[in-house]
Chain A
């Protein structure tokens, strides 16, 4: 018996609770496959019961079995190896019509390159007669008149494959954990087939095939809630799975664009309808722009040793950070690598706020405090504090009539760079900070999520006469590269020192004790590479990871970390990390485009910020 069908309430205790009203439920025994009908609009949840178990999936148009999922069509139309919840979420048939759409995915690693496992695979490995997903599919599809195939081009959920830099398709044990699932929505009436892969001769299923569970949920939205689109993200072994979430401002943003992507666990706009990144970029540089930066992570650091902890863990000298001031720097690890970059806000000597990029920042600070025996409370408050940034030369003028400060001696015009204050925008309480990520005069407003729309809408209305536009990630990336501002994963990671990534100026070596100080002393003397800006002698754009060569030579001196075409400079620019001998301003180097051999473009070394390197615009 390959499966059991349950049409009533669920009895399975080994899988997560149902997401909604179930209309059919199947337990696929290890090494077997099933076929099942799904009607348009219904949801299919494929659950890995025990973890590390692959489940190959087929879907056919129920009225025309010649229309089945085609991985090549799907990859081509989406531009990604596997569809993900969001804009590029659909699996297409050869007709280019969608058959199913990914609504949720808690694993994030699947295969669309390989066939469902075949008899031939096992025969070639010395296992003649070994069951295979393809043969199992042949059996369960025969009753529908579908001819047997030696191998079925399935979507292999939970199968961990990737294409390496040599073009080899690598496979390893599945990333999925017990209870991980993919939730699909049927776009047509379908005949589906799912397997619990029988492969026990390699690591694909962790050497031990186990069960797969399939639930079909009601399509009727009157009886079933709308399932939110989400991708699962795990940031550390001891952190819970995190699903992509809306910020307080996302409902307003969704009215203006359908181009949203998962960024750091939040749905953020790439660009806005009828605008596009160039229009948004120019609004930022010439007028003003409004952007949702709620994906930043916030931590309250309080207690008698709050200062001691941050003075030790954070690169800047916080002695100068009086209440109402903030400072940019980075959290360090013992070998001088950057754990994260961020801003510390000082409320008092016993109360600071750290705003960075990672959920694990708070955990890192907590570990340091424990090791040092310090009394500090670190509270993750990202769910209580979302933030908007109003940036651009007109931002102050837009904000001025809307804002009142709790301290009547403070005015918007007197609020200096990296200063913050409690204020109200209209009647919405915010923490107003004169900071940003754009290289322009600007402000960030930290607000409770319940006030999201009430903050977004008045700002948009107030800015409209001045040409304010909402700004997406594409335009923001262009602006931050021009301004020489770092991005995690591009300019730094925990193997990169502040001296290499271009923020050595944030490291206070005068502090008597600083995380990684001994290592940083050595790195500072002889950094393996240093960050520079490049201006290319071509209109072609460079890209992350491309190599940089000594001019006219074959040997490398560094790599591109970020690149864009700068509209304001009308030049192709890049941020790069090169060996120190080639970091002098004015040095001519070659950037290897394409394969690094076919085309070399000359570039000139300059400041990391190609645009406004003296930061005059943010200080105005």
Chain B
């Protein structure tokens, strides 16, 4: 089962992220991520910009944020969804994908994301552990999900086979 995606941003975005996930989150550069836990549950934190974060978390973050009275917003976008793929598809996915400079696709390390395009579909390609397994998480617009599933089921999976 996929975790829910929570997006958080604002003037105090970094301060709140540090409060929730510790100082380590301040060491991340945009598109780097870390694995941690919150309220006893596993949690993945991806930094998207200086003060923008995306959190993959099974529960609700609302209760953690509300008492802080911080200058941020916390949202779950109904137009955004994710797909988790086994890590062995990684090389095939990137061989079909493109990126715009200065992003690069080859040798994406673990705990790193890259905005990319897969056969014209915009994706955020995020390499990080999922349920403690190496995996590849794709964030895509909800409207593109079925098309992307088809692309992966045909082009990508067949290429692997």
Provide the bound-state CA to CA distance between A538 and B47, in Å: 20
Interface string of A381-413 (1 = CB under 8 A from B): 000000000000000000000000000000000
Whether A322 sits at the interface, judged by CB under 8 Å, is: no
Interface string of B29-50 (1 = CB under 8 A from A): 1111000000000000001001
15 more A-B residue pairs beyond the given contacts A274-B104, A276-B30, with a C-beta to C-beta distance below 8 A: A258-B104, A273-B103, A274-B32, A274-B112, A276-B29, A276-B31, A278-B28, A278-B30, A279-B28, A279-B32, A282-B27, A538-B11, A539-B12, A565-B14, A567-B26
Whether B67 sits at the interface, judged by CB under 8 Å, is: no
Q: Contact at B29–A279, with CB atoms within 8 Å?
A: yes
- B contact residues around A570 at 8 Å (CB): 15, 18, 26
Whether A162 sits at the interface, judged by CB under 8 Å, is: no
Q: Pick the residue among A273, A274, A275, A540 that contacts B11 (CB under 8 A).
A: A540
Provide the bound-state CA to CA distance between A277 and B49, in Å: 11
Q: Contact at B108–A278, with CB atoms within 8 Å?
A: no
- A contact residues around B109 at 8 Å (CB): 274
- A contact residues around B71 at 8 Å (CB): 539
Can you offer 28 A-B residue contacts whose CB atoms are under 8 A?
A: A87-B101, A87-B102, A257-B102, A258-B102, A259-B101, A271-B29, A273-B102, A273-B103, A273-B104, A274-B32, A274-B108, A274-B112, A275-B29, A276-B29, A276-B30, A276-B32, A278-B28, A278-B29, A278-B30, A279-B27, A279-B32, A280-B29, A539-B12, A539-B14, A540-B11, A567-B27, A570-B15, A570-B18
- Shortest Cβ distance from A259 into B: residue: B102
Most buried by B among A87, A274, A279: A274
- A contact residues around B14 at 8 Å (CB): 539, 565
Provide the bound-state CA to CA distance between A116 and B108, in Å: 45
State how many angstroms separate the Cβ of A73 from the closest Cβ of chain B: 14
- Shortest Cβ distance from B28 into A: residue: A278
Q: Contact at B112–A539, with CB atoms within 8 Å?
A: no
State how many angstroms separate the Cβ of A26 from the closest Cβ of chain B: 32
On A, residues with C-beta under 8 Å from B are 87, 257-259, 270-271, 273-280, 282, 538-540, 565, 567, 570
State how many angstroms separate the Cβ of B67 from the closest Cβ of chain A: 18
Provide the bound-state CA to CA distance between A539 and B19, in Å: 14
Whether B51 sits at the interface, judged by CB under 8 Å, is: yes
- Shortest Cβ distance from B71 into A: residue: A539
- Shortest Cβ distance from B51 into A: residue: A539
- Shortest Cβ distance from B27 into A: residue: A282
- Shortest Cβ distance from A89 into B: residue: B101
- B contact residues around A87 at 8 Å (CB): 101-102
Provide the bound-state CA to CA distance between A475 and B101, in Å: 19
On B, residues with C-beta under 8 Å from A are 11-12, 14-15, 18, 26-32, 47, 50-51, 71, 101-104, 107-109, 112
- B contact residues around A270 at 8 Å (CB): 102
- Shortest Cβ distance from A279 into B: residue: B29
- A contact residues around B103 at 8 Å (CB): 273
Provide the bound-state CA to CA distance between A13 and B125, in Å: 54
State how many angstroms separate the Cβ of A479 from the closest Cβ of chain B: 14
State how many angstroms separate the Cβ of A587 from the closest Cβ of chain B: 24
Provide the bound-state CA to CA distance between A275 and B114, in Å: 12
- Shortest Cβ distance from A286 into B: residue: B27
- A contact residues around B51 at 8 Å (CB): 539
Nearest 9 A-B pairs (CB), nearest first?
Answer: A276-B29, A259-B102, A258-B102, A278-B29, A279-B29, A273-B104, A258-B101, A282-B27, A539-B11
State how many angstroms separate the Cβ of B22 from the closest Cβ of chain A: 13
- Shortest Cβ distance from B106 into A: residue: A273
Most buried by B among A257, A258, A270: A258
Provide the bound-state CA to CA distance between A270 and B30, in Å: 14
- A contact residues around B27 at 8 Å (CB): 278-279, 282, 567
Provide the bound-state CA to CA distance between A276 and B109, in Å: 13
- B contact residues around A280 at 8 Å (CB): 29
- B contact residues around A259 at 8 Å (CB): 101-102
Provide the bound-state CA to CA distance between A279 and B112, in Å: 12
Most buried by A among B14, B32, B101, B107: B101
- A contact residues around B50 at 8 Å (CB): 565
Provide the bound-state CA to CA distance between A414 and B35, in Å: 43
State how many angstroms separate the Cβ of B122 from the closest Cβ of chain A: 12
Provide the bound-state CA to CA distance between A255 and B41, in Å: 39
- A contact residues around B47 at 8 Å (CB): 278
- B contact residues around A271 at 8 Å (CB): 29
- B contact residues around A279 at 8 Å (CB): 27-29, 32
- Shortest Cβ distance from A567 into B: residue: B26
State how many angstroms separate the Cβ of B17 from the closest Cβ of chain A: 11
Provide the bound-state CA to CA distance between A271 and B31, in Å: 13
Q: Pick the residue among A276, A278, A538 that contacts B26 (CB under 8 A).
A: A278
Provide the bound-state CA to CA distance between A51 and B51, in Å: 47
- Shortest Cβ distance from B23 into A: residue: A570
Provide the bound-state CA to CA distance between A87 and B101, in Å: 7
- Shortest Cβ distance from A541 into B: residue: B50
Provide the bound-state CA to CA distance between A539 and B50, in Å: 11
Provide the bound-state CA to CA distance between A470 and B29, in Å: 14
State how many angstroms separate the Cβ of A130 from the closest Cβ of chain B: 43
Provide the bound-state CA to CA distance between A25 and B71, in Å: 60
- A contact residues around B30 at 8 Å (CB): 276, 278
- A contact residues around B107 at 8 Å (CB): 274
